[in-house]
């Protein structure tokens, strides 16, 4: 039986769209089929095209919400006394558009001066759809007591406390800066400067509502990171000319500095992510900005006012800074006029800003009450699927439970530092950065990253000596001497591997700047393969829009034999099981079944036979062409009797050339996230990164490694016991 949750905003500016996005993500994490419905479109001033919430979810997920009714159409029916007709049409569209879903999130109208009928219409829609009502509000300037009273008054308009369809409330933007007019519509220039004492304490709010019959289902702290706009959005708002594009598309702004003073009095305000605003004829500011950029400071952008184009001589001095990605914008208005225009900048999420949408969804989903979410999905009849959000959530939850210490040998690399901080903040692992502490902190400061005490920093020069003797002992069969061991330990990957060999850390993640060989070779020499493993292989988790697939081996074995290919299939199937994926293993070839011949096909056919004999408990079939493995209609034609064809979740490629090419083609062509390579068959987990890895790639690889470490420990304990 499906569940319908209607989010009803109490007042303006509560962020109901963001809460809707977060609720959809929370449901995706639960692995149920979720959909969204905004019954009546409510465009904001300046909006063009389709309804914002609906469009945002269509652009950022695999969800296809029903189309909302136009506000003019709804107003026409309401004003002519035909509200019942409107409700009938809404119910019809709702049922047709969401009939295959388990949970549907419905977003209500925001009560405004123009739409004073919002509350009565919201209540009517909730009753018509049989929805459970969740009120969404924000504290504004209210005390916790005033907020509680305001919510209880609002509830009275929806049947009062005795209405069993009222599930509770979500309090958003707790601690947001509020101006003197009690408005959360602060402008960009002040959004990161929160006056002391302006923050509503989450705990205080929760304690006050503990005395209320209205449960709090989410208490979401305000976060400046969630409203950081792209430079391109601000450039469009200001109608700026682009003097240097740089990283205009992706760079984000976290603060604004108006450079009207002398250089010595301004440089302290040059910060990562800052938009520096100055008159275009201030050559001193322009050059100082470029010097900061050349010294590693990731300035958000440089905005030149007054329609003054920098002199050619100055521009030549700044070429290196321009080449590093600094966006430079030029506008006609003066600095004062620019400050006025910034106050009108729309801080809402653009429908095409997928990175920010993802961040908002994850953040808000993590602040929704888990117990309540479980009650929404406890019905055993609900279908379950491991969607990408569910998989990522599953990873982080398992990693938190594992609570493992993971070493990152590339400790001075910016992405690695940021990933370590995220892992520590989210409790994914206890990260250990190897590198010079001063350099690590310098790089972090340039990126605007604060390294907390939860991130451990180990200086290699302080600890190398203690690993010389153990390393010599491990490699004594190869004639390793202390001199050579000491020299090899200068490589932080080798040092980190020795920390793993000595059980001081549970796993290792490297590869952001090192090659696969640099990462794996020390592990093979010092860690060795797991008991019973004949080889080391790898898999990638491919996060398709509606499911997660496993690809192996795409990183390690160039041309495995049939026996090795069988082992790779078994290792990959076991890894899939360990991470919550039901393994249906397809042995990929250019031929399906007995339709083709040749040594390559015979190798896959033989590998399939060996794997089936070794693990009769697994569903393994091959040879299968890729389309026969993944498409049901092709499978019915080419392999009608196969229990794998058309529904494969694990794909085993015949060689490295095929596997690596396929995974990259699928990843890049479909713009998918892939996590890996995750190594299989090691005695202790060591995982490699792509040198083009994003911060999130590193974070999830750390999570994988932490989980692998726990699984390895459990296997070792079983073997002993």
Q: Which pLDDT band, with edges at 50, 70 and 90, does 714 fall under?
A: confident
Residue 58 or 208, more confident: 58
State the Cα–Cα distance between residues 81 and 58, nearest whole angstrom: 33
| Mean pLDDT of all residues in 564-577 | 94
- Report pLDDT for 337: 87
Inter-CA distances, 119 with 19, 42, 106, Å: 18, 14, 14
**Averaged pLDDT for residues 189-211:** 49
549: CB partners within 8 A, 6+ apart: 541, 542, 648, 649, 650, 651
Range with top average pLDDT, 291-300, 348-357, 417-426, 441-450: 417-426
Which helix H or strand E contains 4, and what residues bound it?
strand 3-9
Q: Is the pLDDT of residue 318 over 60?
A: yes
Chain segment 422-476, per-residue pLDDT in tens: 999 989 999 999 999 999 999 998 888 889 999 999 999 999 999 999 999 998 8
Dihedral angle, C-alpha 557, 558, 562, 564, nearest 10 °: -10
Q: Which pLDDT score, from 0 to 100, does residue 212 have?
A: 64
Q: What is the mean pLDDT of residues 20-26?
A: 94
Smallest Cα–Cα separation from 704: which of 691, 717, 685, 682?
A: 685
Rg (CA), the chain: 29
Question: Which domains, ranges and CATH numbers included, belong to the chain?
Answer: 3-224+354-377 (3.40.50.300), 231-342 (3.40.1390.20), 389-526 (3.40.50.10950), 537-680 (3.40.50.10750)
What confidence category does residue 211 fall into, taking pLDDT thresholds of 50, 70 and 90?
A: low
522: Cα within 13 Å, side-chain hemisphere: 29
pLDDT tens-digit series, residues 637-685: 898 889 999 999 999 999 999 999 999 999 888 878 788 889 998 899 9
Confidence band of 707 (pLDDT split at 50, 70, 90): very high
Lowest-confidence region among 136-145, 378-387, 400-409, 553-562:
378-387
In sequence order, what are the residues at sequence separation of 6 or more whose Cβ sits closer than 8 angstroms to the Cβ of residue 166?
132, 133, 135, 155, 158, 159, 214
User: Is the separation of the CB atoms in 16 and 136 below 8 Å?
Assistant: yes
Q: Cα separation of 469 and 202, whole Å?
A: 52
pLDDT value of position 235: 92
Q: Is the pTM of this model over 0.75?
A: no
- The 10s digit of each residue's pLDDT in 480-509 is 899 999 999 999 999 999 999 999 999 999
What is the per-residue pLDDT for 207?
A: 58
């Amino acid at each position: 039986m499906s569940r319908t949750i209607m989010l009803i905003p109490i007042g303006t500016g509560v962020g109901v769209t963001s809460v809707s996005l977060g609720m959809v993500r929370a449901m995706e994490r639960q692995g149920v089929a979720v959909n969204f419905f905004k019954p009546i479109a409510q465009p904001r001033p300046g909006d063009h095209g389709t309804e914002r919430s609906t469009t945002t979810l269509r652009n950022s997920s695999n969800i296809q919400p029903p189309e909302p009714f136009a506000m003019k159409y709804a107003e026409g029916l309401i004003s002519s006394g035909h509200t019942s007709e409107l409700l009938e049409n809404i119910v019809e569209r709702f049922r047709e558009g969401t009939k295959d879903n388990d949970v549907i999130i419905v977003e209500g109208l925001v009560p405004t001066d123009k739409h004073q009928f919002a509350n009565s219409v919201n209540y009517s829609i909730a009753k018509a759809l049989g929805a459970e009502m969740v009120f969404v509000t924000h504290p504004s300037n209210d005390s916790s007591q005033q907020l509680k009273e305001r919510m209880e008054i609002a509830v009275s308009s929806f049947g009062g406390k005795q209405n069993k369809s009222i599930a509770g409330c979500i309090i958003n933007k707790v601690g947001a800066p509020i101006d003197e007019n009690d408005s959360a519509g602060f402008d960009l220039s002040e959004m990161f400067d929160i006056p002391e004492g302006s923050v509503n304490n989450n705990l205080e709010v929760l304690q006050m509502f503990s005395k209320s019959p209205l449960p709090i289902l989410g208490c979401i702290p305000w976060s400046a990171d969630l409203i950081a706009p792209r430079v391109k959005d601000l450039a469009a708002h200001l109608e700026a000319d682009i003097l240097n594009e740089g990283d205009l598309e992706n760079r984000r702004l976290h603060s604004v500095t108006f450079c009207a003073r002398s250089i010595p009095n301004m440089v302290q305000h040059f910060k990562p992510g800052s938009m520096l605003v100055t008159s275009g004829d201030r050559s001193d500011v322009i050059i100082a900005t470029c010097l900061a950029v050349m010294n590693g400071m990731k300035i958000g952008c440089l905005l030149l006012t007054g329609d003054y184009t920098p002199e050619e001589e100055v521009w030549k001095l700044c070429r290196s800074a321009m080449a590093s990605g600094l966006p430079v914008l030029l506008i006609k208005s003066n600095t004062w006029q620019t400050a006025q225009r910034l106050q009108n900048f729309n801080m809402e999420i653009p429908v095409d800003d997928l990175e920010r949408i993802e961040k908002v969804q994850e953040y808000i989903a993590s602040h929704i009450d888990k117990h309540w979410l479980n009650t929404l999905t406890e019905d055993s009849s609900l279908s379950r699927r491991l969607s990408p959000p569910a998989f990522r959530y599953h990873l982080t939850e398992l990693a938190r439970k594992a609570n493992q210490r993971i070493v990152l040998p590339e400790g001075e690399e910016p992405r690695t530092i940021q990933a370590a901080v995220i892992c520590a903040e989210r409790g994914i692992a206890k990260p250990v950065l190897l590198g010079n502490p001063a350099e690590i902190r310098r790089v972090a400061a340039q990126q605007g990253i604060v390294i907390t005490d939860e991130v451990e920093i180990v200086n290699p020069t302080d600890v190398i000596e203690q690993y010389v003797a153990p390393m010599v002992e491990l490699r004594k069969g190869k004639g390793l001497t202390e001199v050579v061991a000491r020299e090899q330990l200068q490589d932080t990957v080798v040092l980190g591997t020795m920390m793993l060999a000595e059980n001081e850390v549970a796993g290792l993640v490297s590869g952001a700047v090192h090659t696969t060989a640099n990462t794996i070779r020390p592990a093979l020499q010092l860690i060795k393969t797991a008991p019973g493993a004949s080889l080391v292989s790898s898999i990638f988790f491919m996060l398709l829009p509606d499911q997660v697939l496993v690809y192996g081996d795409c990183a390690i074995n160039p041309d495995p034999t049939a026996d090795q290919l069988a082992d790779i299939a078994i290792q990959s199937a076991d890894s899939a099981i360990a991470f919550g994926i039901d393994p249906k293993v397809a042995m990929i070839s250019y031929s399906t079944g007995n339709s083709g011949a040749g040594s390559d096909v015979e190798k896959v056919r033989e590998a399939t036979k060996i794997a089936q004999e070794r693990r009769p408990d697994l569903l393994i079939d091959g040879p299968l062409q890729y389309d026969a493995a993944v498409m049901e209609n092709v499978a019915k034609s080419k392999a009608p009797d196969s229990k794998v064809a058309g529904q494969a979740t694990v794909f085993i490629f015949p060689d490295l050339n095929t596997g690596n090419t396929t995974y990259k083609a699928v990843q890049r062509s479909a713009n998918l996230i892939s996590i890996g390579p995750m190594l299989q068959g090691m005695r202790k987990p060591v995982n490699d990164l792509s040198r083009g890895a994003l911060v999130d790639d590193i974070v999830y690889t750390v999570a994988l490694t932490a989980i692998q470490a726990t699984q390895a420990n459990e296997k070792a304990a079983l073997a002993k016991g």
